[in-house]
């Protein structure tokens, strides 16, 4: 998918939770989290959210083509606390994905450092010398008759495109990935990657909270 093809879905906000400090949404695939650099990329999740919550503040992002759970802060204090939780790995994230090919073994970890591929931005690449540490755990949920694999992915770090690059490096790119899949693995209606659950401590009460969003693809 290119910027020229940007056609975000015209769907209402899917609010999973809202209180005085946070609002949690189920982001649809195909919608930017924040605006792009040009006017045609102005429509995005935070702009839509501002119509209902003018004080909403960014905490983290999901890729345009990724769907699922995302949290925004409603106060500066909440933003600082939530951001610190992500930075210090106190949050717990789980994604669902469909991969090209038959992934084995049943579970494992990818530990490959990543860096931006400057000549091919926004692509990322593995760089053992200068890349930032990136780790992803995976667990196979099942193998389908069409030769694909259903997995749950657990990012331990939060690098850009981390799950997409790590699965490609395993030899099993995420189905429908416009940047890292090739040939028939790319020929799907959307990126088959969904932020299924997010656990964090509430920035005001400290209470652990877990939010989930149903997987929108088989």
> Domain of 35: which CATH number?
3.30.2350.10
Q: Which domain holds residue 120?
A: 3-212
Distance CA 15, CA 110 (A): 33
pLDDT at 3 (0 to 100): 44
Domain-embedded: residue 119:
yes
Structure tokens at 49: 């959210």
Which residues of the chain fall below pLDDT 50? Answer: 1-3
Distance CA 24, CA 57 (A): 12
Which listed residue (10, 26, 63, 65) is catalytic?
63
Domain-embedded: residue 217:
no
Closest CA to 35 of 16, 61, 55: 61
pLDDT at 5 (0 to 100): 85
pLDDT at 1 (0 to 100): 42
Q: What is the pTM of this model?
A: 0.95
Q: Is there a catalytic annotation at residue 63?
A: yes
Distance CA 15, CA 12 (A): 9
Q: How many domains does the chain have?
A: 1
Radius of gyration of the chain (CA): 17
């Amino acid at each position: 998918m290119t910027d020229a093809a940007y056609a975000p879905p015209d769907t209402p906000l899917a609010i999973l939770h809202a209180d005085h400090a946070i609002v949690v949404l189920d982001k649809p695939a195909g919608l930017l989290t924040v605006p792009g650099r040009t006017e045609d990329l102005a429509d995005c999740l935070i702009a839509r959210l501002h119509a209902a919550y003018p004080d909403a503040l960014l905490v983290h992002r999901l890729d345009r083509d990724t769907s699922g759970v995302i949290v925004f802060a409603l106060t500066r204090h909440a933003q600082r606390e939530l951001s610190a939780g992500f930075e210090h790995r106190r949050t717990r994230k789980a994604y669902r994905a469909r991969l090209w090919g038959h992934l084995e073994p049943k579970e494992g970890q990818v530990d490959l450092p990543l860096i931006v591929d400057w000549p091919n931005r926004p692509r990322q690449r593995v760089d053992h010398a200068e890349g930032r540490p990136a780790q992803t755990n995976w667990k196979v949920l099942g193998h389908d008759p069409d030769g694909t694999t259903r997995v749950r992915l657990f990012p331990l770090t939060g690098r850009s495109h981390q799950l997409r690059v790590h699965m490609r490096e395993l030899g099993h790119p995420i189905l429908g990935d416009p940047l890292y899949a090739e040939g028939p693995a790319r020929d799907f209606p959307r990126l088959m990657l969904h932020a299924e659950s997010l656990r964090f401590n509430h920035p005001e009460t400290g209470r652990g909270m877990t939010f989930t969003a149903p997987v929108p693809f088989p």
